[in-house]
Amino acid sequence: MKIPYNKVLVQGQILFAARGGAIHTFSLTDGSYISSWKHPDVDKVADSIKAINEAKAEAALVVEADTPATESDGPPAKRQKLDGESESPSVSLEAETSTPMTAQDDMTRSGHFDGRGKKGKNKAGKDIDSGKPRFARVPDRPVITHLTSTPDGSHVLAVTGHDKVVWVFEHDGNGQLKQLSRRTMPKRPSAVAIGPDSQIICGDKFGDVYALPLIIPSDGSKSSVSLSSLQLPSKKGFKPTANTLTVHSKGNRLALLNQIKQAELANESKDAGNSASPDFELNLLLGHVSMLTALVLGEQQGRKYILTADRDEHIRVSRYIPHAHIIENFCFGHKEFINDMVISPTKQDILVSGGGDEHIFVWDWLAGKQLFKTNILSLAQEIAPETTTVAVSALYTLLYPSENGPLTYILAICEDIKAIFSWKLNEDNELHCPGIIQLPGKPLSLAISPSSDAPTVIAAIDPDVETKAQSLHAFRLTMTNGRLAVDVETSFKDKAVEAKEADISEDEARGLLYTVESLRKVVTSEQDEEAGSEVPQGTVDSDVAIDTGDGDE
């Protein structure tokens, strides 16, 4: 199979569609292909796969040539290569399968297998007996995890997760991209937004939120935006106010000790002159005590705010630069992780959030007040009765034109559910008129193209093999009794683009693109449950920050 499109963005009449490590642009007027940009590592992965396949073919010929054939024994059997033999070239583990596996440093991926722990090999992939490497490592496959742009579409921003790089492109308005900069962040970015002052606001897996200029001045000077009055946290002399007496859960006690140890090592490295600080302007704004999962920018009464959400069910409202260290409020009510948030375009004081809970929440975010919630699990069970939990992977807002002004709709997609769910946000800030738009595959990302008649939704989907549907799906909407439905479907001319994509196994594609459900925590034992200790599904994520007792949470 080909890796599907996983991120889409609309600006004017141009569609930006990310597929693996490449960004392709299409015209929304006729669906024609315009141009592409691809990550440099795309070619590295392709070359590695080619080399492995060539080694596999050569090894197969050697084995076949060395195998004796007799009339009585029938077809010759392939002879097993012994450890002491060196005539045939070594074949990688990836070559033994139809598609190479990659090493990802994110959380546990479903179906992922890279050969570690295989009998007869150590963790480095070497023979225990001979100590010789049996397989070469294929570079991590690049995947664009975030895609956004400035309101006027003049600049496009992308994030690639495997190398923690923030890419900035100049857009000419006609679908042509020019790379302006690439900046490697200290930790893997998990949420990103572009501020009104040309600042990139970027949150990472450690819970920290940074500001960096969108455009790097050509003379190498600092950006024109002043951050001098910002109180930046200092890692020097780190001493948390939390201790083993105030932190009661088993998981948090261990995490506290780990963070103290990491801070001590960082201080020692800094004292020794080995601090690997970024070579570009980067300002720390605020920090959560767990993985940051969502970030949006809001404005009320002439003041700007940064709204952040994390894996520990918190929504935090902080003031914008240069007072981001000031916490305005919290929105409490989620019982599971939060994965996405959106602010209503017609009511800037209304926030909608979703994640691992059964419900979608509506908030007055500045007051920290929950206004409404509606059950999304019951909707998912209408098309997938076996579903017991939902993981909201993304939320979107849509304005539908009407005689009395635009109507606000909230759209949601969930991991592994082949549908788009929609609700109408009424005047009382409640979600009504629930609708379900079924898709020929699992949605990975949506983009809305507004229109004076009816908006068009472009969906990047992971199509079922039997449906043979395109990964890029577009349809114009209609409204019936307040509910959204599909009116006309359109397509994009991406056959040539798809033909150039390398093949990928279904397990590897899932490991790269399906990461939301793994945010859910599970109780390890009755004793830990009493102590309130929870751990994420799968292996422990070393990138998750813990409570330092700084008063933020």
The contacts of residue 158 (CB under 8 Å, 6+ apart) are 18, 23, 144, 146, 147, 166, 167, 169
Would the pTM of this model clear 0.85, i.e. be above it? no
Q: Which of 115, 104, 107, 101 is nearest to 538 (CA)?
A: 107
Neighbours of 509 (CB within 10 A): 21
**Mean pLDDT, range 435-461, rounded to an integer:** 95
AA letter at 534: E
Which one-letter amino acid corresponds to residue 46? A
In DSSP terms, 490 is beta-bridged to 474
Q: How far apart are CA 187 and CA 206, in angstroms?
A: 7
In percent, the amount of the chain with pLDDT more than 90 equals 57
- Tokens representing residue 6 in the block: 């996983």
Q: What is the pLDDT of residue 49?
A: 77
Predicted confidence band of residue 47 (pLDDT cuts 50, 70, 90): confident
Higher pLDDT, 497 or 18: 18
User: What six digits make up the tokens of 492?
Assistant: 């994009």
> Measuring CA to CA, which residue among 472, 447, 459 is closest to residue 417?
459
Q: What is the mean pLDDT of the chain?
A: 80
513: helix, coil or strand? Answer: helix
Judge whether 508 and 99 are in contact, CB under 8 Å. yes
In this prediction, residue 468 carries a pLDDT of 76
Sequence-separated (6 or more) residues with CB below 8 Å from residue 107: 515, 518, 519, 536, 538, 539, 541
Which of 442 and 121 is assigned the larger pLDDT? 442
Q: Is-contact 139 48, C-beta < 8 A?
A: yes
pLDDT over 50 at 62, yes or no = yes
Q: Per-residue pLDDT tens for 297-309?
A: 999 999 999 999 9
Taking only the tens place, the pLDDT of each residue in 481-517 is 999 999 998 889 988 888 888 888 889 999 999 999 9
- Please answer whether residues 105 and 511 qualify as being in contact, where contact means their C-beta atoms are separated by less than 8 angstroms: no
Chain mean position to CA 484? 27
- DSSP code string of 415-455: TT--EEEEEEE-TTS-EEEEEEEE-SEEEEEEEEE--SS--
CATH (residue range 5-49+134-232+255-519) = 2.130.10.10
pLDDT at site 1: 85
Angle at 345 between CA 342 and CA 349, to 5 degrees: 70
Q: Residue 435 and residue 432: Cα distance in Å, rounded?
A: 9
Residue 137 sits at the vertex; the CA angle it makes with 135 and 143, to the nearest 5 degrees, is 150
Residues 6 or more apart in contact with residue 238 via CB below 8 angstroms: 260, 263, 264, 267
**pLDDT at residue 278, as a whole number:** 80
Mapped onto helix, strand or coil, the DSSP state of residue 377 is: helix
Contact status, residue 12 vs residue 149, Cβ threshold 8 Å: no
Q: Say what the alpha-carbon torsion angle 82, 86, 87, 88 is, to the nearest 10 degrees.
A: 70
Model confidence pLDDT, tens digit, residues 215-271: 998 765 555 444 443 444 444 444 554 556 655 566 666 666 666 665 565 555 445
Strand intervals (E) in 196-287: 199-204, 208-213, 283-287
pLDDT > 70 fraction of the chain, expressed in percent and rounded: 70
pLDDT at site 132? 44
Q: Which amino acid is at 42?
A: V
Residue 349 contacts residue 300 (beta carbons within 8 Å): yes
The arithmetic mean of pLDDT across residues 54-69, rounded, is 74
Averaged over 451-459, what is the pLDDT?
Answer: 93
Cα-based distances in Å from 493 to 76, 328, 330: 48, 48, 46
| 85 or 453, which is more confident | 453
State pLDDT tens for residues 319-368: 999 999 999 999 999 999 999 999 999 999 999 999 999 999 999 999 99
Cα separation, 487 vs 493, whole angstroms:
20
- Smallest Cα–Cα separation from 15: which of 532, 351, 394, 491? 491
Residue 456 clears pLDDT 60, i.e. is over it: yes
On the question of pLDDT at 142 being above 90, the answer is yes
Residue 114: predicted pLDDT: 41
Higher pLDDT, 289 or 76: 289
Domain parsing of the chain, residue ranges: 5-49+134-232+255-519
Instruction: Provide the pLDDT confidence category of residue 397 given band limits of 50, 70 and 90.
Output: very high
pLDDT value at 534 more than 80 = no
C-alpha 344/C-alpha 371 separation (Å) is 14
Query: 209, 324 in Cβ contact below 8 A?
Result: yes
Least reliable range by pLDDT among 185-194, 237-246, 502-511, 520-529: 237-246
322 prior amide bond cis, ω within 30: yes
Helix (H, G, I), strand (E, B) or coil at 531: helix
Confidence of residue 198 (pLDDT cuts 50, 70, 90): very high
Distance CA 463, CA 441 (A): 4
* 276 contact partners, CB below 8 Å, separation of at least 6: none
Written in H, E and C, the secondary structure of 262-291 is: HHHHHHHHHHCCCCCCCCCCCEEEEECCCC
